[in-house]
Amino acid sequence: MRLKSMLQSSTILLAAIALVACGGSDKKSAEGESNEEVAPTHPVPEKPIEEMSYTPEKSHFELWAPTAEKAVVRLYNGDIFAEEVEMVKGDDGLWSADVMGDKRGMYYAFQVTIDGKPLKETAGIFARALNVNGDRGAIINLRETDPAGWQEDKSPQVTPSETVIYEMHYRDMTAHASAGNSNPGKYIGMAERGTRSLEGKATGIDHLVELGVTHVHLLPTADFGSIDESRPTNQYNWGYEPKNYNAPEGTYSTNAADPEARIRELKSLVKALHDAGICVVLDVVYNHTTAAENCGFELTVPGYFYRMREDDSFADGSGCGNETASEKPMMRKYMVESLEYWVKEYHIDGFRFDLMAIHDIETMNLIKERLTALNPDILLYGEGWAASAPLYDESKLAFKRYTYQMPGVAAFSDDIRNALRGTLDLTEGGFVHGVAGNKEALKFGIVGGVEHPEVKHSDAAWCANPRQHISYVSCHDDHNLRDRLELLSPDADEEELLKMVKLAQFGVFTSQGVPFIFCGEEMFRTKQHEKNTYNMSDKYNAIDWGNKHTYSDLVEYYKGLIALRKAHPAFSLGDADLVRQHLRFIESANEAAVGFYLYDIEDIDSAKSIVVLMNGSRESVTFDVPTGDYKWVADGDTIVPNGMGSITINDGKLTVPPITGYILAEF
């Protein structure tokens, strides 16, 4: 098959750059360099990992530490040491111990001895409840953390063609005074219903319901090491510094000192979103950890869970000081079972993988298989790049160009992103700036990253299915859309900037890929032109909900784009052959003008055909359009999915004004 052969022979270096949240520097995609795969020298238990299991009669502890000569579990009442229990080693490298009696409310920590040296205490690698700052695990009854109605909670049913992802941070959405929130920056604050801005506009979940998004993408929620949970604080961080992967971060809890509170409150948020008809996606960061000396991986089996150079230093494909080794049997098992736990215990509906290209393809496919068995509609996507070359065979890693090898796993498309709004380094604008040279990349994004006979963007398409293509123009990384446009077009007035925003998202939502938007951009959000706000204050990150009133026209435009996807499944055909069969481009000599039409779609859509015209130039452009009777769906200012007026094309021509997107539909 041409797709496979071209991808296998491709040696093109990825040009995408993404912000590294752990340290705030730029990440550049890179080819991996081959190295010898580490042999699985340690036995791996077949049973699922469960380091602590509680009953009123006893607490059972297990720890995988095959290289240790001794392991103990130490119990604490608060910060006061209570007792130490020696563990017994099994043939599979798993140490175990039983502590009799009801120990609920106590804390525990493991300590292993290697080469005669006791290592620092750790909560282990699979702690599900934590003390403040996550150095010790907590003995709890998980069922006592279930909010009312939790056992009846179910994932909303979303038609794949209607999927729209909305990325957000807890503080961004709730911290500004205009959010009308009683618990800013907290799980239960985000779960509040009925919140209103000073102008009386819906905020929070009610705003999401108004928009019509189907999935909320929550920035890292698992315990991270960036903020001191022991002090009440408004300190901000994106959270890309994972410490404990299987317990929620305490910063977002109303009481970080209560191990059960953070669990209960996160579940309450998930339930509130589900009750509102919105699925929940977690941003997960398995590609690196917080400083290795503070992480359970290195404090239980030193050197195993990470990729190590020949001099025993940590490989750094993550740009954060260490990169994990998903190809090693226990790390692969760990990732799979950790994700399964989030689905089972927290009813999570999908995952976004940070620097997914550090993980190997086999592991990603296994994740898809195992999670689909729990939730057939699970949504999985990630960044198809790394910060620098991972220390593993590049051809086996989940780089964007190998997405076609991972059915059911999607990747962010820097192709459509850069084509629409320009390069990451702000050296050149994109299609919405009227800049030439972006047409083929935009067309590639329009078809959803699959092969198409009329697209000549690259040597090889990287998607086997258009729903593997995450279409977006901005996310938490880098400048947000408004700031980027202002920086690249300093002479543009606000009217022109708003036209550019609309056209950029018009391109995203008419793409065959899955549309993805960043919180607040529908309100013309600004971060004061700061590029990397990963640890900056609310001044830069909190959404001013007054903008929802000021820019109500833009909010309505976004609502129209989302409604467009729900009304017209032809914009998400979900099959590469269908895209090639039903989508044809309308050529224009203007380098910043692209048109296409979807035809013979009666069995797919309420419309017989749809014409889409995009003009990013600063002059009007006339397109050749099939003759016929149409209804206006989008006229540059307004979107009405079922039509808002009629137009007859007799001469096969239609002129589109500058910085404008048109949609016509034949019903």
- What single string gives the DSSP state of each residue in 410-469? EEE-HHHHHHHH--TTSSS--GGGT-TT-HHHHHHHHTTSS--TT--SSSS---SSGGGE
List the catalytic residue out of 229, 316, 349, 354: 354
Per-residue pLDDT reduced to its tens digit, 176-207:
999 999 999 999 999 999 999 999 999 999 99
CATH number of the domain within which 605 lies: 2.60.40.1180
Residues 457 and 482 reside in one and the same domain: yes
Is the confidence at residue 9, as pLDDT, over 70?
no
**Separation between Cα atoms, residue 343 and residue 324, nearest integer Å:** 22
Residues 451 and 485 in one domain: yes
Task: Give me the number of domains the chain comprises.
Answer: 3
pLDDT given at position 458: 78
Q: What is the CATH number of the domain that holds 435?
A: 3.20.20.80
CB 411 within 8 A of CB 355: no
Single out the catalytic residue among 323, 383, 483, 522. 383
Q: Are residues 566 and 590 in the same domain?
A: no
> 519 in a domain, yes or no?
yes
Residue 354 annotated as catalytic: yes
Asked whether residue 501 is domain-assigned, the answer is yes
Is residue 576 included in any domain, yes or no?
no
Average pLDDT over residues 347-371: 98
Whether 605 is catalytic:
no
Q: Render pLDDT for 162-180 as a digit per residue (tens, 0 to 9).
A: 999 999 999 999 999 999 9
Same domain, yes or no, for 491 and 370? yes
Q: At which of 570, 594, 621 does a domain end?
A: 570
Please count the residues of the chain: 667
Written as one string, the DSSP assignment of 317-381 is: TTSSS--B-TTSHHHHHHHHHHHHHHHHHH---EEEETTGGGSBHHHHHHHHHHHHHH-TT-EEE
657 within 8 A of 496, measured Cβ to Cβ: no
The answer on 361 and 217 residing in a single domain is yes
User: Would you state the structure tokens that stand for residue 38, as one six-digit string?
Assistant: 């580490």
- Distances in Å between the Cα of 103 and the Cα atoms of 79, 106, 131 are 15, 6, 15
Mean per-residue pLDDT, 637-661: 97
**pLDDT confidence bin for 232, thresholds 50/70/90:** confident
Which pTM does this prediction carry?
0.94
Please report, rounded to a whole number, the percentage of residues in the chain having pLDDT higher than 70: 94
pLDDT band for position 7 (cuts 50, 70, 90): very low
Same domain, 563 and 642: no
pLDDT of residue 92 exceeding 50:
yes
Residues 63 and 71 sit within 8 Å (Cβ to Cβ): yes
**Is residue 44 domain-resident?**
no
Strand partners, 98: 60
Residues 515 and 620 in one domain: no
9 Cβ neighbours under 8 A, 6+ residues apart? none
Same domain, 88 and 232: no
Q: Tell me: do 559 and 606 sit in the same domain.
A: no
Please tell me the predicted confidence (pLDDT) of residue 40.
55
Residue 561 lies in a domain: yes
507 touches 445 (CB < 8 A): yes
Residues 183 and 264 in one domain: yes
Mark which of 144, 159, 179 sits at the end of a domain: 144
Closest by Cα among 125, 139, 138, 130 to 55 = 139
Of 144 and 18, the structure prediction assigns the larger pLDDT to 144
Q: Does 609 score more than 70 pLDDT?
A: yes
Domain range spanning residue 621? 583-666
> How many Å apart are CA 293 and CA 301, to the nearest integer?
12
Burial readout 569-582 (b: 16 or more C-beta within 10 A, e: otherwise): bbbbbebbebbbeb
On whether residue 387 sits in a domain, the answer given is yes
My answer on whether 541 and 591 are in the same domain is: no
Is the confidence at residue 26, as pLDDT, over 70? no
- Residue 530 has which token pair? 């700061």
Q: Is residue 360 part of a domain?
A: yes
Question: If you average pLDDT over residues 279-308, what whole number do you get?
Answer: 97
**Same domain assignment for residues 566 and 603:** no
DSSP 516-563: EEETTGGGT---TT-S--TT--HHHHS--THHHHHTHHHHHHHHHHHH
pLDDT tens digits for range 423-460: 999 999 999 999 999 999 999 999 999 999 999 987 78
Mean pLDDT of the chain: 93
End residue of a domain, out of 542, 570, 598: 570
In a domain, 188, yes or no: yes
DSSP string, 238-255: ----EEEEEEE-GGGSS-
Is residue 457 within 8 A of residue 441, CB to CB? The reply is yes
